[in-house]
Amino acid sequence: MTTAAPSVQTRELSDAPDWWRQAVVYQVYPRSFADTDGDGLGDIKGITSRVPYLAELGVDAIWLSPFYPSDLADGGYDVADYRDVDPKLGTLADMDELIAQLHAHGIRIVVDIVPNHTSDKHVWFQEALAAGRGSAARERYIFREGTGVDGAEPPTDWESLFGGSAWERVDDGQWYLHNFDVSQPDLNWDNREVRDDFLTTLRFWSDRGVDGFRIDVAHMLTKDLTEPLPSRAQLEALPFDGTHPLIDRDDVHEVYAEWREVFNSYDPPRTAVAEAWVHPSRVPLYASAESLGQAFNFDLLEADFDPAQFRRIVADNLALAAESGSSTTWVLSNHDVVRHATRYGLPDAERGADGRPTRKHGNEWLLSGGETPVLDTARGERRARAAATFVLGLPGSAYLYQGEELGLHEVAEIPDADRQDPTFFRSPGIDQGRDGCRVPLPWTAEGSAFGFGAKGAHLPQPAWFSAYAVDRQDGDPASTLSLYRRALDLRHELQTDEQLQWIDAGRDDVVAFERPNGWTVVTNFGTESAPLPAGEVLLSSAELTGDALPAETTVWLRRS
């Protein structure tokens, strides 16, 4: 049963094998999207009920973050069973219905696969605990003896990416490796059974009609754990050139070559996109047609609203995409970072000599509880609209994060007692964690949980969410939602070859480019108006008055 009556004009599902190359992919974080059973957690039926919304928005695909059985110790990235649905979120039949409804509305579906680690509730880890040292069950994970008296110290001083030691001791005295939370033991990718099981999982979801996969921490699966293990200091001194013991090893692509055979055995071939935080020169390895086929480009997550940074990032990533033969990906926000409307309303990041931010965007503001005047919300939204309109005009695919089409800000005012993210608990007082971008969406300005669900939301929604609700923005031509709808609709109409030609706007604060069919995108990053280039205005991220391009505004033009 579904509430998804096809009430909006829908597109046909394209059969082109390269449908993904310039797709707009909308990330759904299932716990926080829409709740139909009133338990405060979003569910699969909730997503199905909103398929018409997604069709009206005009997205080509959704990327569904993990929906598998999980304790939600890391928001679902702690998977207890890769071939089932979390009963808190629904059933396999609900997933089948979601896939069918998406396809009926011309929308493809990409699901998250988490291969670096399982949940500690996975049957394999439970077997490993029960079977004891030296067992085949322990060989699926990375167990080692400790050091020091009675092995009471961890095997190494390695740190988890979420803070604290990367090792945890079990009852019989051995230690297991967890690069993330203690509830996320790392798998041993030297183990054939592990490799085969993931091939089975990829086929399981492909057979059910899933169109592609987003691969979590794709650069960390294979490891060289030859004894003696290096210390943290020794690890830090090693280059990331494919031979590092833990990160971005060349041999991880042997895993993906096997996955590729599975992907290519379907029609159209299943797609994959790598979440790989690696040196840019190594991204093409993941994006190549022999490996995963596409890789995330996260450069814009680390950039300010700055013309030189944007221009450099576009040029670099188009060149990298050309190297791999893939298309690049544009990401302004996702479930791991401070929402970009908020980032752009904060003072620019301080940068090191390499141009990278030297502090986490927004952390100072988040620690202050959001009450300081440091954040300029209106400016953040204006810049966010300009940045999205810029990005949606670029060649390649664009990944949107749920709520950005509403111009949503990060929620800072989450009481400590309500926080859920392990990064908050593992680095107390230093990192506020990622809950602020994961607060359930406001669908209606009034009513229970702003229309998210009948009985509240699993993370508290602030009163100001009301102003951003879908029903407030629906039908308002000036709203951010209307801007996204128009942009996606026009993008389909205007879509052309994956090329761009830079246009010299004659000033540093304006970045402009033209696509092969004359579709022209011009962004004024500056704080003063600039001359509006000649041409028919198709879209503008802010109201235009006269023949000026206002500050912090993007326009799409058809050049005459």
Chain residues in the site for ligand NOJ (CB under 6 A): 74, 77, 114, 180, 216-217, 275, 335-336
Q: CB-wise, 274 or 549, nearer to ligand NOJ?
A: 274
- Closer by beta carbon to ligand NOJ, 20 or else 77: 77
Q: Which residue is nearest to ligand NOJ (CB)?
A: 77
**How many Cα atoms occupy the beta-carbon half-sphere of 376 within 13 Å?**
10
What tokens were used for 248? 């971005």
Cα–Cα distance measured from residue 136 to residue 128, given in angstroms and rounded to the nearest whole number? 8
Q: Which is nearer to ligand NOJ, 275 or 410 (CB)?
A: 275
432: left (phi over 0), alpha (psi -120 to 50) or beta: alpha
SS3 522: strand
Question: Residue 32 is which amino acid?
Answer: S
Closest C-alpha among 70, 68, 80, 62 to residue 24: 62
Select 74 or 404, whichever has its Cβ closest to ligand NOJ.
74
Do 14 and 49 meet the contact criterion of CB atoms below 8 Å apart?
no
Minimum distance of ligand NOJ from residue 335's CB (angstroms): 6
For ligand NOJ, which is the closer residue by CB, 266 or 425? Answer: 425
Q: How far is the CB of 336 from ligand NOJ (least distance, A)?
A: 5
CA-based torsion, 474, 479, 481, 484: positive or negative: positive
Min CB(300)–ligand NOJ separation in Å:
16
- To the nearest whole angstrom, how small is the minimum distance from the Cβ of residue 85 to ligand NOJ? 18
Which backbone phi and psi does 39 adopt, to 5 degrees?
Answer: -100, 10
Peptide bond into 230 cis (omega under 30): no
Closest to ligand NOJ by CB, 114 or 459? 114
H or E element in which residue 196 lies: helix 192-207
Minimal distance in Å, beta carbon 112 to ligand NOJ? 8
Least distance from C-beta 166 to ligand NOJ, angstroms? 13
Taking the complex as a whole, the smallest distance from the CB of residue 408 to ligand NOJ amounts, in Å, to: 18
Separation between Cα atoms, residue 407 and residue 414, nearest integer Å:
19
Q: At what angle do helices 192-207 and 252-264 cross, to 10 degrees?
A: 30
Nearest to 419 by CA among 171, 75, 94: 75
Specify the residue, 75 or 533, whose C-beta has the smaller distance to ligand NOJ: 75
Give whichever of 76 and 269 is closer to ligand NOJ, judged by the CB atom. 76
* DSSP per-residue codes, 72-134: -TTTT-S-S-TTS--TTT--HHHHHHHHHHHHHTT-EEEEEE--SB--TTSHHHHHHHHH-TT
Ordered DSSP codes for 217-267: TTTSS----PSSPPPHHHHHTS--SS--SSSS-TTHHHHHHHHHHHHHTSS
Give least dist CB 162 to ligand NOJ, A: 8
- Shortest CB 428 distance to ligand NOJ, Å: 17
Dist. CA 259–CA 245, nearest whole Å: 22
Residue 275 CB, shortest distance to ligand NOJ, in Å, is: 6
Question: For ligand NOJ, which is the closer residue by CB, 55 or 301?
Answer: 301
β-strands 329-331, 271-274 pairing: unpaired
Q: Which amino acid is at 393?
A: G
Nearest C-alpha neighbor of 522 from the set 384, 538, 255? 538
**Beta carbon of residue 249, minimum distance to ligand NOJ (angstroms, whole number):** 18
Which of 336/489 has CB closer to ligand NOJ? Answer: 336
Residue among 35 and 112 whose Cβ is closer to ligand NOJ: 112
> For 284-396, where are the E strands, in sequence order?
329-331
Minimal distance in Å, beta carbon 236 to ligand NOJ? 21
- Reduced to 3 states, what is the DSSP secondary structure of residue 379? helix
Closer to ligand NOJ by CB, 217 or 274: give it: 217
